[in-house]
Copies of this chain bind each other. A is one copy, B any other.
């Protein structure tokens, strides 16, 4: 248990960030490109000049509507054992999403992702223990015309029964829910237990609500279906080049989107979701792997607690192109800052090169990091029994704990027993092939991906889907080409194989 989370702002500073956000909303306002949003906002007391798109949010309007945001948010799953509710189930671990590319696990080359890749990723996420929510991490380059989103959603839902987070372009909005109703056996059945969470980025920083994403957020909110928005201020480019300035502008943007949701449906559950960054001003590079993102998230956590709203976001992304030390420390630093800062949901896993490419090894390594984060959340597990004073007394000065009954009972539970982090002495590690963590992670991915994946759809349902959506892709499972069911033994591989693995590890 975390008794007190880390804080970078005093209570007075939190209040000031809130007040400054209200000043921005009231004095500067937002450019709202969606006319339906403008209509809703002005109908509830926001103000705008006729013929202009800038809408101002009076303080009392913001305060009134933010007050109706409930303190919890649930990600529902097809299999209800995987339902996750924030903040109680925090940290809720979610894959990163919407990368166009994938690092091909068979040759380490980056290429466009396809629907069969999504099937494999879904199968992997289903079988890695730390993942709570599956946000579909890539696009599907082989999607037929008219089936852009369904060719991502179908393999994801078929091979993963955990909660699924999805987004898609406006033309797919109705198809997504229609598909969900169909799989659930009807609209009523689905609405009783929705298993999709819809996600959009309606605010383009600085202070602009776009047309499409805002429209979709309004749509799903009207429909009473789970949805939320992520804010993405980028200091130096789309927000001020200060941490506090980026925090306050993102906070104003959060309030604007959240207030709009509450106007559409008072009491609607939502998340304070963000991806705050500071650009690398040497080149303008987008830097979500920077330590500044971790620092900003501690501030986001504090603001979310001030509002009583569950929070999260894209945290733990890396700018590394391969799974090297950078990939490890960037993901680790920001995510741990988030967990110790009481951020509840981490869209953390599986991506390299910011949001560009999914990598199977990275997904496996991030699952292990996520297990560690969950262990941190459990804390020191203080109890009189765990103080173990009797055991300390019994063993005594200079004694041995290894063969004590108290020790034997806890050998498998006291500490996290990692599978990727290697603890062999160097000689034993070399004897086993001198594999780095990326090679070990790919070994683990291979072990899972070569298992049978029958999927969670009956043959009848599958047939109905193909009948209803002719040409839909992604429903057949096959291991990556050339990967066979029995993984190579973990003993010393031959020289050529070792060389191949090292090159693979070095090349990503």
The residues of A with any CB-CB pair to B shorter than 8 Å are: 1-10, 13, 16-17, 20, 23-24, 27-31, 54, 110, 204, 206-208, 235-245, 247-249, 278-287, 289-292, 294-296, 298-299, 319-333, 336-337, 340-341, 353, 356-357, 365, 369, 372, 375-376, 379-383, 386-389, 391-393, 395-402, 406-407, 410-412, 414-418, 420-426, 429-430, 434, 436-438, 441, 502-503, 505-507
- Shortest Cβ distance from A38 into chain B, in angstroms? 13
| Interface contact B3-A392, CB-CB below 8 Å | no
Nearest residue in B to A244 (C-beta to C-beta)? B386
Docked pose: A5 CA to B356 CA in angstroms: 34
Residues in B with CB closer than 8 Å to A9 are 3, 379-380, 382
Partner of A422, one of B13, B241, B321: B321
Partner of A391, one of B245, B331, B389, B441: B245
Docked pose: A437 CA to B321 CA in angstroms: 10
Q: Check A7/B8 contact, CB under 8 A, given A244-B387, A414-B241.
A: no
Residues in B with CB closer than 8 Å to A436 are 320, 322, 324-326, 506
| Interface contact B322-A375, CB-CB below 8 Å | no
Nearest residue in B to A20 (C-beta to C-beta)? B387
Some 22 contacts from A to B, beta carbons below 8 A apart, are A2-B8, A24-B393, A28-B397, A206-B395, A236-B401, A238-B400, A239-B392, A240-B392, A240-B401, A243-B414, A244-B382, A245-B392, A280-B417, A287-B423, A294-B336, A320-B422, A325-B327, A326-B422, A328-B330, A329-B421, A332-B332, A502-B503
Residues in B with CB closer than 8 Å to A353 are 425-426
Docked pose: A418 CA to B310 CA in angstroms: 32
Residues in B with CB closer than 8 Å to A438 are 324-325
Q: Check A417/B282 contact, CB under 8 A, given A16-B387, A379-B295.
A: yes
Docked pose: A248 CA to B388 CA in angstroms: 9
Given pairs A322-B434, A329-B329, 15 additional interface contacts (CB within 8 A): A3-B10, A23-B389, A31-B397, A204-B398, A244-B380, A244-B386, A278-B415, A281-B412, A292-B416, A324-B438, A325-B437, A332-B333, A353-B425, A503-B506, A506-B506
Residues in B with CB closer than 8 Å to A241 are 401, 406-407, 410-411, 414-415
Residues in B with CB closer than 8 Å to A505 are 324, 506
- Shortest Cβ distance from A315 into chain B, in angstroms? 13
Docked pose: A225 CA to B410 CA in angstroms: 43
| Interface contact B375-A507, CB-CB below 8 Å | no
Nearest residue in B to A502 (C-beta to C-beta)? B506
Residues in B with CB closer than 8 Å to A4 are 4-7
Residues in B with CB closer than 8 Å to A13 are 3, 382
Residues in B with CB closer than 8 Å to A242 are 381, 386-388, 410, 414
| Interface contact A393-B502, CB-CB below 8 Å | no
Q: Counting chain B CB atoms within 10 Å of each CB, which of A5, A319, A382, A423 scores highest?
A: A423
Nearest residue in B to A357 (C-beta to C-beta)? B426
- Shortest Cβ distance from A475 into chain B, in angstroms? 31
Docked pose: A285 CA to B1 CA in angstroms: 27
Docked pose: A395 CA to B233 CA in angstroms: 14
Residues in B with CB closer than 8 Å to A503 are 502, 506
Residues in B with CB closer than 8 Å to A421 are 289-290, 319-320, 326, 329-330
| Interface contact A376-B325, CB-CB below 8 Å | no
Residues in B with CB closer than 8 Å to A416 are 290-292
Residues in B with CB closer than 8 Å to A321 are 422, 426, 429-430, 434
Residues in B with CB closer than 8 Å to A383 are 244
| Interface contact B6-A340, CB-CB below 8 Å | yes
Docked pose: A380 CA to B235 CA in angstroms: 13
Residues in B with CB closer than 8 Å to A417 are 280, 282
Nearest residue in B to A325 (C-beta to C-beta)? B328
Residues in B with CB closer than 8 Å to A410 are 236, 241-242
Closest 8 CB pairs of A and B: A328-B328, A245-B388, A325-B328, A502-B506, A31-B397, A332-B332, A240-B388, A328-B329
| Interface contact A290-B415, CB-CB below 8 Å | yes
Docked pose: A17 CA to B337 CA in angstroms: 26
Partner of A329, one of B365, B402, B502: B365
- Shortest Cβ distance from A7 into chain B, in angstroms? 4
